[in-house]
Structure 1
Amino acid sequence: MTDDGFAPAPALSPDLVRRAPKALLHDHLDGGLRPQTIIELAAEAGYDALPSTDAEELGRWFRDSADSGSLERYLETFSHTVAVMQSADQLRRVARECALDLAADGVVYAESRFAPELHVEGGLSLPEVVEAVLAGLREGEAEAAAQGTPIRMVSLLTAMRHAAMSDEIAELAVRYRDQGVGGFDIAGAEAGFPPSRHLSAFEYLRRENAHFTIHAGEAFGLPSIWEAIQWCGADRLGHGVRIVDDITGPTGTGGDEPTLGRLAAYVRDRRIPLEMCPTSNLQTGAAESVAAHPISLLKDLRFRVTVNTDNRLMSGTSMSREMQLLVDEAGWTLDDLRWATINAMKSAFIPFDERLAIIERVVKPGYAALAAAT
Structure 2
Amino acid sequence: MYEVIATPFLEDFLVMRPGKSGGFKIPFHRYQELRDTAGDRPCPEWLAAATRKAWGVELSGRSADAVLVREPSSYGYARASYELNLGCNYDCPFCYLGKKEFEGLDWEGRETLLGVMRDAGVVWLQLTGGEPLIDPLFRETYGRAYELGMMLQISSNGSRLHDERNLNLLTQYRPYRITVSVYGATEETYDRTTRRRGTWRQFRRGLAAAREAGLPLRLNVVVVDDNAHELDQMKALADELEAEHFVYSNISPTIHGGPEALSSQSDEHLRARKPFTGCNAGITHFHADPFGLASICKVGRDEQIDLVAEGVEGLAQLPPIADKLMLRTGGCSGCALQDKCGTCRPLAKRYQEANAPLVSYCQHGRR
TM-score (norm 1): 0.37
**Structure of higher CA gyration radius:** 2
Higher helix fraction (1 or 2):
1
Instruction: Report which structure shows greater RCO (CA 8 Å, sep ≥6).
Output: 1
